[in-house]
Structure 1
Amino acid sequence: MNAARRRKHPDGLPNRVYARDGSFYWVRPDNKWIRLARVAEGENRMLERLVEEKKLFDPVIGRGNLPRIIDVYIEAHAKNYADTYRDTWVWLGESIKKYFRDWNVEQVDPQAVEDFLVQNWPDKLRSQQAAKGWLSGFFSWCVRKKHVYVNPCREVKIKKPKTRDVYIPDTDFLAIREALMMTLPREHGHSAKVPTGPMMQCFVDLCYLTCQRSTEIRLLEWDQIDREAGVIHFVPTKTEESSGEAVDWPITPDIDAVLARAKLLEPAFGQKYVIRDKKGNPKTESSCRSAWNGAKERAKLESKPYTIKDIRAKAMTDAKRAGYDIDALQVAGAHTDRATTEIYIKSREVPVSKVLLHLPAKKSA
């Protein structure tokens, strides 16, 4: 097509955008015509595509086009992730964009991907897995958009992380739980209550008593407490956009007692969330982690690898030892795959050998 010309008559279209042969076109500053959308698709679709193309073209001296393509990808796909994971997903994309700020998308090969993973997370295989997964999804999209022809992540192999096998013994669990309520001793031997201690104890108790992920407990709303049916309705956020696996958990006397304690804590009015801060908002992941780590330190267990996520593993392992079968635990854990439940439990159970031997008897002459 010919180079863009100044309009003789206003037509309401953005600068350098023209309607030709039933389609909208944007004439880039280098005079290349870019098809945006069919006229029948409407101006809103045309404007969306215009924003995408401008971000891709916008030249920045000394930098590649990869950061701008990542921006378009994030803008288009961030909405597909659950609220509980979206910030992490976007943060990971921003980290990748920063590392590859001077790269063009077609320059990234398997070696570049491997170097990025190893340099940023040399000893963290799970972080490497997450970053590779992000990049693989991105380059798969790039192939479909014809930015590249091959996904470079396909040739990158990552060593499979070791299955986490941490189990919190009862004595350590109770020590951390108790330490949530206390600060470090003062000079005169007195200890002061931690203001957030009572709410954090409710959080830890519900994580254990319901076998649910900590995210489900942080975001638990009073509307999910169904007194008439005698259950708590859980729809795990991790699978709400995929399998949607849900579980109704019975309100046992122990759980009911924890809910009653939580109900009386601040703020006592206008409550929406069971586990909340003083403003009524749900506790953040970072605040819960800080409280847990502080309690570990006060309990003199800071050297132990216990995390909040290990509470769920402890609960399910304890339930297995109490006699519940794998089918019951699969329902409790809202796992779509029985194998996931089996791995979850077996990794934290130490088998006891049933082989009993005696020293060989001395043969008589």
Structure 2
Amino acid sequence: MNRPRKVKAGRGLLDRMEARPRKDGLVTYRYRPVNGKPINLGTDRTAAIQKVLDMLGMGDNLGTIARLWDQYRDTADWKHLAESTHTDYTQASTPLLSVFGEMRAQDIRATDIARYLRVERTNAPVRANREVALLSNLINLAIERGEAETNPCRQVRRNREQPRSVAPAQATLARFTAWLAKQTPQRAIICLAAEYASMAGNRKIEFLDLSWPQIDRSAGVIRTFRAKQRGAKRGTIVEEVEITPRLSDLLDRISAAHADQARECLYLFPNRFGNAYTQKGFKSMWGKLMNAAIEGKVIPAEERFTFHDLRAYYATTHKSERGALPDLHGNPATTARVYDRNKVVKRKAL
């Protein structure tokens, strides 16, 4: 009968851990469970010990929110989220961990979450809602692992969110883009992206990496993949945006802008290195330009608008000019509720 091999712990290692020198001078750590195959722990000694402690349920930080955040990013649930959600949750983790990072999931109470929403993050109520959504996911993971019994996030009312109700005025948008077009060549690219969003209505995530092969002049359409689709529909819904005369003129100006900079680029709206903008990089650039426009009195502070408002501008203008809202969302009611910002409702009398 084969007996389990006895492995002596190396210096400073836990029982049943072993260190195996490699030819490149590094050391690989492994853990050999009883009657089981060796588990590779990597080359970081401290991290290897922590992994073994976690497997044995002996880790000092077992069940803490900081540890759950690390574990959550290795789960199937995380892998099924969109990249935009990954970015959003990563940003949300910074303020969340500064408050709850060292707390164990089982020790968090509904009153702690309510204080976080109403007091700790009173200046950012909408972001606080997103952060608590992440916290709820982490506590659910703790429940699945037997490290908590209930999720107190479900017992607390979220902060009230007031949806934006005003689309940029046509004159305001025209002043802003005219000013932006006269700035540096790179700022002019942002201007062209803003014009495209106001004409085509795509989300940033759908067109920041828009490339010339997606422009089909012969068919008269621009093809993009609709974002924010779940399950089997993700990455499979193709939107064909009609190339109208105004949009065709914009495409010509984009091509001319590339020629003026003496560069051939795959993307319509590249950054200064010729690559597609990341959402974070584009958002940062947009914020700086909007601040500069307000400081330069190009547009008044009360008329400030977000880039996402351009999608609402498109939907609102589309309804005014064509008599119906465009197909922007899988649920038409969502398009009407979120993007229709018409202030005049027309109807017929009997």
Q: TM-score range by the shorter chain?
A: 0.7 to 0.9
Q: Deviations over 1:317-355 (max 9, x none)?
A: 0111113324xx1x2x1x010110121344443447999
What displacement does 1:64 show?
8.2
| Rounded Cα–Cα distance in structure 1 between residues aligned with 2:63 and 2:338 | 44
- 2:111 alignment partner in structure 1: 111
- 2:263 alignment partner in structure 1: 269
| Rounded Cα–Cα distance in structure 2 between residues aligned with 1:305 and 1:166 | 10
1:338 correspondence with 2:332: yes
| Rounded Cα–Cα distance in structure 1 between residues aligned with 2:50 and 2:224 | 40
Matches within 5 A, 1:211-222: 211-222=201-212
- 1:295 alignment partner in structure 2: 293
Alpha-carbon contact 1:117-1:131 (below 8 Å) kept: no
- 1:17 alignment partner in structure 2: 31
What displacement does 1:202 show?
1.0
1:280 correspondence with 2:274: yes
1:100 correspondence with 2:100: yes
Percent of matched pairs sharing the same residue: 19
Q: Deviations over 1:275-323 (max 9, x none)?
A: 0122102232211332233234431322324111111101110111113
3-state SS in 2 of match to 1:322:
helix
3-state SS in 2 of match to 1:180:
helix
**Aligned mate of 1:200, from 170, 190, 197:** 190
| Rounded Cα–Cα distance in structure 1 between residues aligned with 2:98 and 2:341 | 37
| Rounded Cα–Cα distance in structure 2 between residues aligned with 1:68 and 1:116 | 20
What displacement does 1:219 show?
2.4
Alpha-carbon contact 2:221-2:243 (below 8 Å) kept: yes
Q: Deviations over 1:228-261 (max 9, x none)?
A: 4321112133336674343111222222222222
- 1:252 alignment partner in structure 2: 244
CA RMSD of aligned residues (A): 3.5
Q: Which structure: larger Rg?
A: 1
Q: Report the CA distance shift for 1:136/1:9 in structure 2 as closer, same or farther (over 3 A).
A: closer
Consecutive unaligned residues of structure 1, counting only runs of 5 or more, are 25-38, 183-192, 356-365
| Rounded Cα–Cα distance in structure 1 between residues aligned with 2:131 and 2:197 | 28
- 1:130 alignment partner in structure 2: 130
1:314 correspondence with 2:306: no
Q: Report the CA distance shift for 1:259/1:241 in structure 2 as closer, same or farther (over 3 A).
A: farther
- 1:68 alignment partner in structure 2: 67
| Rounded Cα–Cα distance in structure 1 between residues aligned with 2:251 and 2:17 | 57
- 2:151 alignment partner in structure 1: 151
- 2:161 alignment partner in structure 1: 161
Residue identity in the other structure for 2:204: S
3-state SS in 2 of match to 1:20:
coil
| Rounded Cα–Cα distance in structure 1 between residues aligned with 2:206 and 2:168 | 20
Consecutive unaligned residues of structure 2, counting only runs of 5 or more, are 11-15, 19-29
Alpha-carbon contact 2:315-2:339 (below 8 Å) kept: yes
3-state SS in 2 of match to 1:129:
helix
| Rounded Cα–Cα distance in structure 2 between residues aligned with 1:49 and 1:343 | 51
Task: Tell me the TM-score normalised to structure 1 length.
Answer: 0.74
Alpha-carbon contact 1:209-1:255 (below 8 Å) kept: yes
Alpha-carbon contact 1:216-1:237 (below 8 Å) kept: yes
What displacement does 1:274 show?
0.8
Residue identity in the other structure for 2:60: P
Task: Tell me the TM-score normalised to structure 2 length.
Answer: 0.77
